[in-house]
């Protein structure tokens, strides 16, 4: 993605501190805990503070990523409710802002930044995960609509979504990367069957989605017909950089947008504590991944902080976090100068996987036998805390149970290494004829 145009004042670039002061003033004038969530998000989103890294003419403020992360911190520290959680703000908004027409930006991105719609990502299929371009969900033209048939899987938040980022095959008679289209797909329609999948944590974060003669209008094609592979790569780049080490939370707050979660009518102030910290916990029940600070606190509290092996790994974890932060600053500086560092999004995502693995292992070593305690719902969590007297009881087990996920979603660790090898190090691509042979003629598993 090219660097977003930074905000300017009187022809000069605005300094981040000036912007943060402007934000604090704005919050002083606008935050009111008695607004509904929907009313508050409308103010926040239309002022450009919900998605500040989007361009200024596309519901953002043209900030670079680190400054956008600071915006979230300022909002949280002020004690106001943060922007909507989820994949709309993280992936769909930036993708449509980059590839959509003006009309599509006003139709979709506006509703994303004000939290009116929730989105899911309809990319992976049972036979197409790492080999995403091998997808078989078909979209067939019917007048000014497309009829969609196929199956998606691992669809995070599909049960709350109003719209989906759908990639489907619109031309099987060309090589596989060339016949795919990216659609903004309406989830509330006949022919869309969302079935939850339960994970190790006991939560059902993701779903399988069956599409049977579902419909999507031609006006919902984003980035051009058959050009979906390029558009999907934009989505994946935002996913990898948003989830990578040093990337903050990628724009996600803790309150869910959209019509299904039914939180838009609730009082905004009920989602923040008097000290300003958000009350809600993440749906996975996990603590922040890769956080050395949390583990240092736990090690101090249960007397393990003097163990030299624990100390060594705590420092390793802290250093990995710092390297991620410095890499992110390096990338920011390069982009501000109109350059890029090839493979940086992949490197930071890989590093986040490493940090989550180390945190999980370290957390269980620090916790000892208490690390086996876990509860599958709010009542169970409350009982666990009451029985142990430890407000973080179960949190380290939750972190460990969720730890395999970051090395899989957004492209597995192996796939990140392949990309770094090919695109950053210039190693030869895997041999094969899939870039020249029509998709319909390629061998398939089924
Ligand atoms: C928590 C979570 C949330 C997710 N949310 C979503 C979502 O919202 N929407 C969505 O569309 N998808 C989602 N996914 C799916 C995710 O993108 C896929 O799981 C991922 O791309 C891997 O695909 P796969 O599971 O089919 O594994 P496969 O592609 O079958 O891979 C199996 C193994 O083979 C390895 N492998 C495959 N190809 C190669 C190769 N060329 N070189 C080296 N090794 C290789 C992989 O690294 C992996 O270890 C989610 C996954 C998780 C875990």
| pLDDT at res. 318 | 94
Q: How remote is the CA of residue 129 from the centroid of ligand 1, in Å? A: 5
CA-closest residue to ligand 1 atom 17: 409
* % of the chain residues with pLDDT over 90: 68
Mean pLDDT across 247-263: 71
| pLDDT at res. 243 | 65
Question: What atom of ligand 1 comes closest to residue 157's alpha carbon?
Answer: 8
Q: What is the pTM of this model?
A: 0.89
Q: Is ligand 1 within 6 A of the CB of residue 412?
A: yes
Q: How remote is the CA of residue 41 from the centroid of ligand 1, in Å? A: 33
Mean pLDDT across 312-335: 90
| pLDDT at res. 132 | 96
Q: Is the pLDDT of residue 381 over 70?
A: yes
| pLDDT digits 0-9 by tens, 259-282 | 999 999 999 999 997 655 444 433
| pLDDT digits 0-9 by tens, 34-46 | 999 999 999 999 9
Q: Is ligand 1 within 6 A of the CB of residue 302?
A: no
Mutate to test the pocket of ligand 1, among 88, 209, 408, 430 (most ligand atoms within 8 A of CB): 408
| pLDDT digits 0-9 by tens, 394-440 | 888 988 999 999 999 889 999 999 999 998 999 998 888 888 999 99
Residue 2 exposure: Cα atoms within 13 Å on the Cβ side:
7
CA-closest residue to ligand 1 atom 52: 409
Dist. CA 172–CA 136, nearest whole Å: 9
- Residue keyed to tokens 């959209």: 258
Q: How remote is the CA of residue 217 from the centroid of ligand 1, in Å? A: 29
Dist. CA 335–CA 232, nearest whole Å: 22
Q: Is ligand 1 within 6 A of the CB of residue 123?
A: yes
| pLDDT at res. 166 | 98
How many Cβ atoms from other residues are within 10 Å of residue 123's Cβ? 24
Dist. CA 256–CA 260, nearest whole Å: 9
Q: Is ligand 1 within 6 A of the CB of residue 284?
A: no
Confidence of residue 333 (pLDDT cuts 50, 70, 90): confident
Average pLDDT, the chain: 89
Q: Is ligand 1 within 6 A of the CB of residue 440?
A: no
| pLDDT at res. 13 | 58
Confidence of residue 244 (pLDDT cuts 50, 70, 90): low
Q: Is ligand 1 within 6 A of the CB of residue 207?
A: no
Neighbouring-strand partners of residue 139: 148
Question: What atom of ligand 1 comes closest to residue 121's alpha carbon?
Answer: 9
| pLDDT at res. 251 | 37
CB of 58 within 8 A of CB of 109?
Answer: yes
| Token output for 349 | 């995502």
CA-closest residue to ligand 1 atom 40: 415
Mean pLDDT across 171-195: 97
Question: What atom of ligand 1 comes closest to residue 156's alpha carbon?
Answer: 8
Confidence of residue 329 (pLDDT cuts 50, 70, 90): confident
Dist. CA 44–CA 26, nearest whole Å: 9
């Amino acid at each position: 993605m090219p660097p977003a145009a930074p905000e300017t004042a009187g022809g000069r670039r605005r300094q981040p501190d000036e912007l943060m002061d402007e934000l604090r003033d704005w919050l002083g004038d606008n935050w009111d805990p008695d607004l509904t969530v929907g009313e508050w998000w409308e103010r926040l989103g239309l002022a450009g503070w919900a998605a500040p890294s989007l361009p200024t003419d596309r519901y953002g403020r043209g900030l670079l990523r680190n400054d956008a992360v600071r915006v979230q911190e300022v909002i949280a520290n002020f004690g106001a409710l943060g922007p909507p959680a989820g994949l709309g703000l993280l992936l769909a908004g930036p993708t449509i802002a980059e590839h959509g027409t003006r009309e599509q930006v006003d139709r979709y991105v506006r509703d994303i930044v004000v939290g009116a719609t929730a989105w899911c990502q309809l990319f992976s299929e049972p036979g197409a995960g790492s080999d995403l371009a091998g997808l078989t969900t078909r979209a067939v033209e019917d007048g000014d609509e497309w009829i969609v048939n196929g199956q998606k899987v691992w669809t995070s938040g599909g049960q709350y979504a109003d719209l989906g980022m759908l990639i489907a095959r619109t031309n099987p008679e060309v090589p596989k990367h060339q016949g795919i289209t990216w659609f903004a797909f309406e989830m509330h329609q006949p022919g869309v069957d969302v079935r939850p999948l339960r994970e190790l944590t006991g939560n059902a974060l993701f779903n399988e989605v069956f599409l049977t003669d579902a419909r999507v209008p031609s006006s919902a094609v984003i980035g051009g017909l058959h050009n979906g592979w390029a558009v999907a790569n934009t989505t994946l780049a935002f996913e990898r950089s948003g989830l990578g080490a040093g990337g903050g939370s990628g724009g996600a707050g803790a309150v869910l947008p959209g019509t299904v979660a039914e939180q838009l009518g609730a009082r905004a102030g009920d989602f923040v504590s008097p000290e300003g910290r958000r009350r809600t916990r993440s749906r996975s029940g996990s603590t922040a991944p890769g956080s050395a600070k949390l583990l240092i606190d736990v090690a101090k509290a249960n007397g393990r902080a003097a163990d030299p092996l624990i100390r060594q790994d705590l420092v390793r974890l802290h250093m990995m976090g710092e390297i991620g932060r410095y890499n992110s600053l390096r990338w920011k500086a390069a982009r501000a100068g109109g350059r890029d560092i090839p493979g940086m999004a992949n490197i930071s995502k890989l590093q986040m996987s490493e940090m989550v693995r180390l945190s999980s292992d370290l957390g269980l070593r620090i916790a000892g036998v208490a690390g086996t305690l876990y509860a599958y719902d709010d009542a169970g969590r409350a009982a666990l805390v009451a029985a142990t007297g430890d407000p973080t009881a179960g949190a380290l087990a939750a972190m460990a149970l969720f730890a395999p996920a970051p090395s899989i979603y957004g492209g597995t660790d192996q796939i990140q290494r392949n990309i770094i090898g090919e695109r950053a190090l210039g190693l030869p691509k895997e041999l094969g004829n899939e870039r020249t042979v029509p998709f319909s003629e390629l061998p398939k598993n089924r």
